[in-house]
Amino acid sequence: MLSKRTFFAVGVLSVLAILALSTSRTANAAGDDSGIGEKWAAAWNSHDPDKMLPLFTDDISYEDVAYSAVSHNHAELRKFAAEEFESIPDLNLKVERSVFHNGHGTVEWTFSGTDKGVYKTGKKFTVRGVSVVDVRDGKISRCLDYYDTGTIMRQLGQLPEGK
C-alpha cells in the first residue's frame, strides 16, 4: 500500500504530466510562433513587397494605426509596402523584443530611415513602436503598428521641439 506522501507525489507528477502534454498540444495546434517578430522585421528590411507577402495570410488585416492606413489583403499590403519603400528608401526595423504565445504576441521595435516621400524633408528619423500581432497557421493574419508620429515630425522639423 502506498503511503500518503507517495500517493500525493504520484498525483502531483500525474497532474504535471497532463499539463505538459496539453501545453505541448496547444503549442503545436497554434503553430510555432517563435521567431515571427524577427521574420516580420526581416520582411520589411528586405525592401521587397513580394518577399514580404509569404509571411502574411491572404486575408491579412494590417493597420498602421498612426497614419490610419489599413490593408485587408495581399494586394493592399503590397501597395502599402511599396509606398513605404519609395517614401523611406533606407527603411530599417530593429526588433528590440518579441513575445508570442498561442498565436498572439507583440513586437517592440525601432524604426529608422530617411524621409524622401512622406514630408519630403530628406532628413533622418528614428522612432520606437510596438506591433500587436495575431498568427494563424504560421503566418501573420493581423498586425497593428503603434508609434508616435509626433516624434517623427519633430525630428523632421515639421513640429517644434518639445520641452
Q: So where are the chain's domains?
A: 1-30, 33-155
- From CA 69, how far away is CA 62, in angstroms rounded? 8
| Cβ(113)–Cβ(91) below 8 Å | yes
Question: What is the torsional sign of CA 117, 119, 121, 122?
Answer: negative
Tell me how far apart the alpha carbons of residues 51 and 45 are, in angstroms, rounded to a whole number: 10
Cell numbers linked to 9: 507525489
Model pTM score: 0.79
* Degrees, nearest 5: CA angle 79-80-82: 65
Query: What would the CATH number be for the domain defined by 33-155?
Result: 3.10.450.50
Poorest-confidence range of 14-28, 63-77, 89-103, 142-156?
A: 14-28
Give residue 24's pLDDT: 36
pLDDT tens per residue, range 84-109: 999 999 999 999 999 999 999 999 99
